[in-house]
Structure 1
Protein backbone atom coordinates (compact mmCIF):
# COMPACT_ATOMS: atom_id res chain seq x y z
CA UNK A 1 0.00 0.00 0.00
CA UNK A 2 1.60 3.24 -1.13
CA UNK A 3 0.68 5.42 1.85
CA UNK A 4 1.19 2.83 4.56
CA UNK A 5 4.74 3.84 5.51
CA UNK A 6 3.64 7.46 5.99
CA UNK A 7 0.64 6.34 8.07
CA UNK A 8 2.80 4.15 10.30
CA UNK A 9 5.33 6.92 10.90
CA UNK A 10 2.53 9.42 11.64
CA UNK A 11 1.05 7.06 14.22
CA UNK A 12 4.56 6.23 15.51
CA UNK A 13 4.08 2.51 14.89
CA UNK A 14 7.10 0.31 14.06
CA UNK A 15 7.58 -0.42 10.38
CA UNK A 16 8.72 -3.78 9.05
CA UNK A 17 12.29 -2.67 8.39
CA UNK A 18 12.63 -1.14 11.87
CA UNK A 19 11.58 -4.20 13.84
CA UNK A 20 14.13 -6.78 14.91
CA UNK A 21 11.73 -9.70 14.60
CA UNK A 22 11.94 -12.36 11.95
CA UNK A 23 10.18 -11.59 8.65
CA UNK A 24 7.67 -14.37 9.17
CA UNK A 25 6.51 -12.61 12.34
CA UNK A 26 6.03 -9.21 10.68
CA UNK A 27 2.51 -7.82 10.64
CA UNK A 28 0.82 -7.86 7.25
CA UNK A 29 -1.31 -4.79 6.73
CA UNK A 30 -4.63 -5.34 4.96
CA UNK A 31 -7.31 -2.72 4.31
CA UNK A 32 -9.40 -4.36 7.06
CA UNK A 33 -6.69 -3.32 9.57
CA UNK A 34 -7.35 0.35 8.81
CA UNK A 35 -10.24 2.69 9.43
CA UNK A 36 -12.52 3.79 6.60
CA UNK A 37 -10.87 7.24 6.53
CA UNK A 38 -7.40 5.70 6.18
CA UNK A 39 -8.50 3.45 3.29
CA UNK A 40 -8.81 6.40 0.93
CA UNK A 41 -5.32 7.68 1.71
CA UNK A 42 -3.43 4.40 1.91
CA UNK A 43 -5.02 1.83 -0.41
CA UNK A 44 -4.63 1.68 -4.16
CA UNK A 45 -7.66 1.21 -6.36
CA UNK A 46 -8.90 -2.36 -6.34
CA UNK A 47 -7.02 -3.46 -3.21
CA UNK A 48 -10.18 -3.24 -1.12
CA UNK A 49 -12.01 -5.60 -3.50
CA UNK A 50 -9.06 -7.99 -3.62
CA UNK A 51 -9.11 -8.39 0.14
CA UNK A 52 -12.85 -9.07 0.08
CA UNK A 53 -12.30 -11.89 -2.43
CA UNK A 54 -9.34 -13.21 -0.40
CA UNK A 55 -11.30 -13.24 2.86
CA UNK A 56 -14.32 -14.93 1.26
CA UNK A 57 -12.09 -17.63 -0.22
CA UNK A 58 -10.38 -18.13 3.14
CA UNK A 59 -13.77 -18.47 4.84
CA UNK A 60 -14.90 -21.15 2.40
CA UNK A 61 -11.56 -22.98 2.71
CA UNK A 62 -11.81 -22.88 6.50
CA UNK A 63 -15.37 -24.21 6.43
CA UNK A 64 -14.34 -27.03 4.11
CA UNK A 65 -11.36 -27.88 6.33
CA UNK A 66 -13.54 -27.77 9.44
CA UNK A 67 -16.15 -30.03 7.86
CA UNK A 68 -13.52 -32.55 6.74
CA UNK A 69 -11.79 -32.53 10.13
CA UNK A 70 -15.08 -33.09 11.97
CA UNK A 71 -15.90 -36.00 9.64
CA UNK A 72 -12.51 -37.55 10.43
CA UNK A 73 -13.12 -37.06 14.14
CA UNK A 74 -16.54 -38.70 13.87
CA UNK A 75 -15.10 -41.70 12.06
CA UNK A 76 -12.31 -42.00 14.63
CA UNK A 77 -14.84 -41.96 17.47
CA UNK A 78 -17.00 -44.60 15.78
CA UNK A 79 -13.94 -46.78 15.20
CA UNK A 80 -12.81 -46.34 18.80
CA UNK A 81 -16.18 -47.31 20.24
CA UNK A 82 -16.48 -50.32 17.95
CA UNK A 83 -12.94 -51.71 18.09
CA UNK A 84 -10.82 -50.35 20.95
CA UNK A 85 -10.75 -52.17 24.26
CA UNK A 86 -8.47 -51.65 27.22
CA UNK A 87 -7.15 -48.62 29.03
CA UNK A 88 -3.85 -48.31 27.14
CA UNK A 89 -5.31 -48.51 23.64
CA UNK A 90 -8.23 -46.34 24.60
CA UNK A 91 -5.92 -43.65 25.98
CA UNK A 92 -3.77 -43.68 22.87
CA UNK A 93 -6.73 -43.37 20.54
CA UNK A 94 -8.16 -40.59 22.69
CA UNK A 95 -4.88 -38.67 22.32
CA UNK A 96 -5.21 -38.91 18.53
CA UNK A 97 -8.84 -37.78 18.68
CA UNK A 98 -7.85 -34.86 20.90
CA UNK A 99 -5.24 -33.84 18.31
CA UNK A 100 -7.89 -33.93 15.59
CA UNK A 101 -10.14 -31.81 17.81
CA UNK A 102 -7.39 -29.18 18.19
CA UNK A 103 -7.00 -29.14 14.41
CA UNK A 104 -10.74 -28.49 14.07
CA UNK A 105 -10.48 -25.62 16.56
CA UNK A 106 -7.73 -24.12 14.39
CA UNK A 107 -10.01 -24.19 11.34
CA UNK A 108 -12.79 -22.59 13.39
CA UNK A 109 -10.47 -19.80 14.55
CA UNK A 110 -9.31 -19.20 10.98
CA UNK A 111 -12.94 -18.92 9.84
CA UNK A 112 -13.81 -16.51 12.63
CA UNK A 113 -10.86 -14.22 11.91
CA UNK A 114 -11.64 -14.04 8.20
CA UNK A 115 -15.34 -13.52 8.84
CA UNK A 116 -14.54 -10.69 11.26
CA UNK A 117 -12.38 -9.05 8.57
CA UNK A 118 -15.25 -9.40 6.08
CA UNK A 119 -17.60 -7.78 8.58
CA UNK A 120 -15.15 -4.88 8.90
CA UNK A 121 -14.87 -4.51 5.13
CA UNK A 122 -18.48 -5.05 4.05
CA UNK A 123 -20.51 -4.37 7.15
CA UNK A 124 -23.73 -6.27 7.82
CA UNK A 125 -25.50 -7.50 4.70
CA UNK A 126 -26.80 -10.39 2.63
CA UNK A 127 -23.41 -12.14 2.64
CA UNK A 128 -24.04 -13.01 6.31
CA UNK A 129 -26.81 -15.44 5.30
CA UNK A 130 -24.20 -17.76 3.82
CA UNK A 131 -21.20 -17.06 6.07
CA UNK A 132 -22.84 -17.17 9.47
CA UNK A 133 -21.02 -16.93 12.79
CA UNK A 134 -20.10 -20.24 14.42
CA UNK A 135 -22.49 -21.16 17.21
CA UNK A 136 -20.11 -23.26 19.27
CA UNK A 137 -16.50 -22.09 19.29
CA UNK A 138 -15.32 -25.21 21.14
CA UNK A 139 -16.39 -27.37 18.15
Structure 2
Protein backbone atom coordinates (compact mmCIF):
# COMPACT_ATOMS: atom_id res chain seq x y z
CA UNK A 1 0.00 0.00 0.00
CA UNK A 2 2.85 2.37 0.86
CA UNK A 3 4.50 1.74 -2.54
CA UNK A 4 1.25 2.61 -4.30
CA UNK A 5 1.03 5.94 -2.43
CA UNK A 6 4.62 6.84 -3.34
CA UNK A 7 4.01 5.92 -6.98
CA UNK A 8 0.85 8.03 -7.08
CA UNK A 9 2.60 11.06 -5.56
CA UNK A 10 5.56 10.81 -7.93
CA UNK A 11 3.25 10.64 -10.96
CA UNK A 12 1.29 13.66 -9.74
CA UNK A 13 4.53 15.71 -9.70
CA UNK A 14 5.19 14.76 -13.32
CA UNK A 15 1.74 15.88 -14.44
CA UNK A 16 1.75 19.08 -12.36
CA UNK A 17 4.61 20.68 -14.24
CA UNK A 18 3.93 24.26 -15.24
CA UNK A 19 2.52 24.61 -18.74
CA UNK A 20 2.27 27.46 -21.17
CA UNK A 21 -1.08 28.27 -22.67
CA UNK A 22 -0.70 29.62 -26.21
CA UNK A 23 -3.79 31.40 -27.49
CA UNK A 24 -4.50 33.66 -30.43
CA UNK A 25 -6.62 34.40 -33.46
CA UNK A 26 -5.97 33.55 -37.11
CA UNK A 27 -7.19 36.12 -39.63
CA UNK A 28 -6.98 36.97 -43.32
CA UNK A 29 -4.18 39.51 -43.79
CA UNK A 30 -6.14 41.62 -46.32
CA UNK A 31 -9.69 41.59 -44.94
CA UNK A 32 -9.03 40.93 -41.24
CA UNK A 33 -11.77 38.29 -41.17
CA UNK A 34 -11.35 35.24 -38.94
CA UNK A 35 -10.28 32.01 -40.65
CA UNK A 36 -12.02 28.81 -39.54
CA UNK A 37 -10.21 25.45 -39.46
CA UNK A 38 -6.62 26.69 -39.81
CA UNK A 39 -4.08 24.02 -38.75
CA UNK A 40 -1.60 25.18 -36.10
CA UNK A 41 1.00 22.49 -35.34
CA UNK A 42 4.00 22.57 -32.99
CA UNK A 43 7.02 21.40 -35.02
CA UNK A 44 8.76 18.20 -33.82
CA UNK A 45 5.80 17.22 -31.63
CA UNK A 46 2.39 15.65 -31.98
CA UNK A 47 0.75 18.71 -30.43
CA UNK A 48 -1.47 21.01 -32.45
CA UNK A 49 -4.96 22.33 -32.98
CA UNK A 50 -7.30 23.98 -35.48
CA UNK A 51 -8.89 27.41 -35.21
CA UNK A 52 -12.55 27.56 -34.19
CA UNK A 53 -15.50 29.46 -35.69
CA UNK A 54 -14.07 32.77 -34.42
CA UNK A 55 -10.56 32.01 -35.72
CA UNK A 56 -9.35 31.46 -32.14
CA UNK A 57 -7.02 28.67 -31.05
CA UNK A 58 -5.54 27.35 -27.78
CA UNK A 59 -2.57 25.00 -27.30
CA UNK A 60 -1.18 23.71 -23.99
CA UNK A 61 2.59 23.14 -24.19
CA UNK A 62 5.79 23.23 -22.15
CA UNK A 63 7.44 26.67 -21.88
CA UNK A 64 10.43 27.42 -24.10
CA UNK A 65 11.25 28.07 -27.75
CA UNK A 66 8.76 26.47 -30.18
CA UNK A 67 8.15 26.59 -33.92
CA UNK A 68 4.57 26.89 -35.18
CA UNK A 69 3.65 25.53 -38.60
CA UNK A 70 0.44 27.20 -39.78
CA UNK A 71 -1.41 26.00 -42.88
CA UNK A 72 -4.77 26.59 -44.53
CA UNK A 73 -6.10 25.69 -47.98
CA UNK A 74 -5.84 28.64 -50.37
CA UNK A 75 -3.38 30.51 -48.14
CA UNK A 76 0.41 30.59 -47.90
CA UNK A 77 1.77 28.26 -45.21
CA UNK A 78 3.73 30.09 -42.53
CA UNK A 79 6.37 29.08 -39.99
CA UNK A 80 6.84 31.10 -36.77
CA UNK A 81 9.48 30.72 -34.06
CA UNK A 82 8.28 32.03 -30.69
CA UNK A 83 9.40 31.87 -27.07
CA UNK A 84 6.80 30.75 -24.54
CA UNK A 85 6.83 31.61 -20.84
CA UNK A 86 4.85 29.84 -18.11
CA UNK A 87 1.22 30.86 -18.06
CA UNK A 88 -0.72 32.75 -20.71
CA UNK A 89 0.90 33.60 -24.07
CA UNK A 90 -0.91 35.36 -26.93
CA UNK A 91 0.18 35.09 -30.58
CA UNK A 92 -2.11 36.35 -33.36
CA UNK A 93 -1.53 35.13 -36.92
CA UNK A 94 -2.44 36.83 -40.23
CA UNK A 95 -2.27 34.67 -43.37
CA UNK A 96 -1.92 35.86 -46.98
CA UNK A 97 -3.89 34.39 -49.87
CA UNK A 98 -1.91 32.08 -52.15
CA UNK A 99 -3.19 33.08 -55.60
CA UNK A 100 -2.70 30.43 -58.27
CA UNK A 101 -3.34 31.07 -61.97
CA UNK A 102 -4.93 28.15 -63.78
CA UNK A 103 -4.03 27.55 -67.42
CA UNK A 104 -7.55 26.60 -68.45
CA UNK A 105 -10.77 24.86 -67.54
CA UNK A 106 -12.35 21.99 -69.44
CA UNK A 107 -16.10 21.46 -69.19
CA UNK A 108 -17.68 18.21 -70.35
CA UNK A 109 -21.30 17.17 -70.60
CA UNK A 110 -23.30 14.08 -71.44
CA UNK A 111 -26.74 13.77 -72.98
CA UNK A 112 -29.19 11.55 -71.13
CA UNK A 113 -32.08 10.41 -73.35
CA UNK A 114 -35.10 8.48 -72.24
CA UNK A 115 -34.77 9.15 -68.55
CA UNK A 116 -37.35 10.77 -66.28
CA UNK A 117 -35.14 13.84 -65.90
CA UNK A 118 -34.96 14.59 -69.64
CA UNK A 119 -38.75 14.16 -69.93
CA UNK A 120 -39.26 16.58 -67.04
CA UNK A 121 -37.04 19.14 -68.77
CA UNK A 122 -38.96 18.70 -72.05
CA UNK A 123 -42.27 19.07 -70.25
CA UNK A 124 -41.10 22.20 -68.43
CA UNK A 125 -39.94 23.85 -71.66
CA UNK A 126 -43.15 23.14 -73.59
CA UNK A 127 -45.69 25.95 -73.78
CA UNK A 128 -49.38 25.22 -73.47
CA UNK A 129 -51.62 27.80 -75.14
CA UNK A 130 -55.20 26.55 -74.83
CA UNK A 131 -57.31 29.62 -74.08
CA UNK A 132 -55.73 32.02 -76.57
> Do the two structures share a fold, i.e. TM-score over 0.5?
no
**Range into which the TM-score falls when normalised by the shorter chain:** under 0.3
| Structure with the larger helix share | 1
